[in-house]
Copies of this chain bind each other. A is one copy, B any other.
């Protein structure tokens, strides 16, 4: 599937001036969210980012400017959740993207009608873009798996299945919310290594995980595996995702069935879904090191090694309560890229369904913490602080091993490549309140 087309042309400009400056949302991006005017009781509906504005898809739908698949798609996206639109598949997604690209281009005949559909992003609030039926978290960074494995199992950091199986586990959907989420530090059971028995109280090792969220579009029937060659067609788009983690709860509870309360108290997605079509230019030539086992054939897209392999850069910043009081900017903690991932999005999708498991539109996969090969590229504080043993110094001189109450964590994502316009994901932010 080669989706690169006129909508990616670096020379395209928009009559929305802010889209032509430094922005996450040039006309080459066109990500989707669900929104309404801030503080209003309007119905939530689909919107598309362009510069510092959002295109209100309810207005575009009502104006009936588009035709065919594009009009069907915009009508479906005029809803409080994008599941129906996401379930329509690539032909509808592409048709709407092209229609929006054409309507927002400099010189478009639709400029007047579209001006009526613009709302400043500063004036809106978001909801989750879709109902996330099931959410699965993968573990695709071998650097993260090795570093964390070393802390939990010093003698056995990387387990023998890692290089064969895209390891994943089911997560909790109900506690996923959109950027801006605040939550109380979780309580739970922990057991200090030197303690006889566990104790109960607030988590002492609260952490973030820097991840991508991957939204399924078209689902599959129970029993029907999705072939690796077809996997990309099922993926609607990606967001930035913070998989908050309570490390001390995790260490005590995770054997033998995996993390549970350490993960399900809160998870936060960025509001905008950047479509796989917008990401098409940023694929990387995925390959497996010759010293590593080659993937089993069901996971090996020999015809298209780039399938679902994206170079998406991501960083994470921490803004403490003190920084907010003093007006100090947030402190950058690390930066990495999904290009380091051991498994591609296509491999995750195919592996997940190879046993017949079914996806529904709007289901989400987490990529797992995206740590790069260097220590400075680690996607969690557990890794940056080497299990809490080394303190991390922030911009303003404060230090951390794990997160404090009042800390706001900010994650961002973007793609850059010669010959293409930089496109961004916006950010996902979340703030920790004291334990109840």
A254 touches B252 (CB 8 A): no
B174 touches A134 (CB 8 A): yes
Query: Please, how many angstroms separate the alpha-carbon atoms of A173 and B364 in the complex?
Result: 13
Residue of B at shortest CB range from A246? Answer: B355
A159 touches B255 (CB 8 A): yes
Map CB proximity to B onto A255-289 as digits: 1 under 8 Å, 0 otherwise: 11111110011100000000000000000000000
- Once A149-B256, A296-B189 are accepted as A-B contacts, the answer to whether A264 and B357 lie under 8 Å apart by CB is yes
Contacts of A170 in B (CB 8 A): 169-172, 260, 264
Contacts of A255 in B (CB 8 A): 159, 161
Contact of A253 with B by CB under 8 A:
yes
A265 touches B357 (CB 8 A): yes
Total identical chains = 2
Contacts of A161 in B (CB 8 A): 191, 198, 252-253, 255
Q: How far is the CB of A173 from chain B (nearest CB, A)?
A: 5
Contacts of A360 in B (CB 8 A): 174
- Once A169-B169, A197-B293, A222-B183 are accepted as A-B contacts, the answer to whether A188 and B355 lie under 8 Å apart by CB is yes
Contacts of A168 in B (CB 8 A): 257, 260
A345-389 with Cβ < 8 A to chain B:
351-352, 354-360, 363
- Once A355-B249, A357-B265 are accepted as A-B contacts, the answer to whether A165 and B189 lie under 8 Å apart by CB is yes
Sample of 14 further A-B pairs with CB below 8 A, known A254-B258, A256-B258: A133-B133, A161-B252, A165-B252, A168-B260, A170-B171, A170-B172, A172-B357, A174-B358, A183-B222, A186-B356, A198-B296, A222-B265, A261-B357, A265-B355
Contact of A184 with B by CB under 8 A:
yes
A153-172 with Cβ < 8 A to chain B:
153, 159, 161, 164-165, 167-172
Q: How far is the CB of A249 from chain B (nearest CB, A)?
A: 7
Contacts of A252 in B (CB 8 A): 161, 165
Residue of B at shortest CB range from A160? Answer: B191
A358 touches B175 (CB 8 A): yes
Contacts of A136 in B (CB 8 A): 172, 260
Query: Please, how many angstroms separate the alpha-carbon atoms of A174 and B266 in the complex?
Result: 21
Contacts of A139 in B (CB 8 A): 257
- Once A174-B360, A197-B293, A261-B352 are accepted as A-B contacts, the answer to whether A164 and B189 lie under 8 Å apart by CB is yes
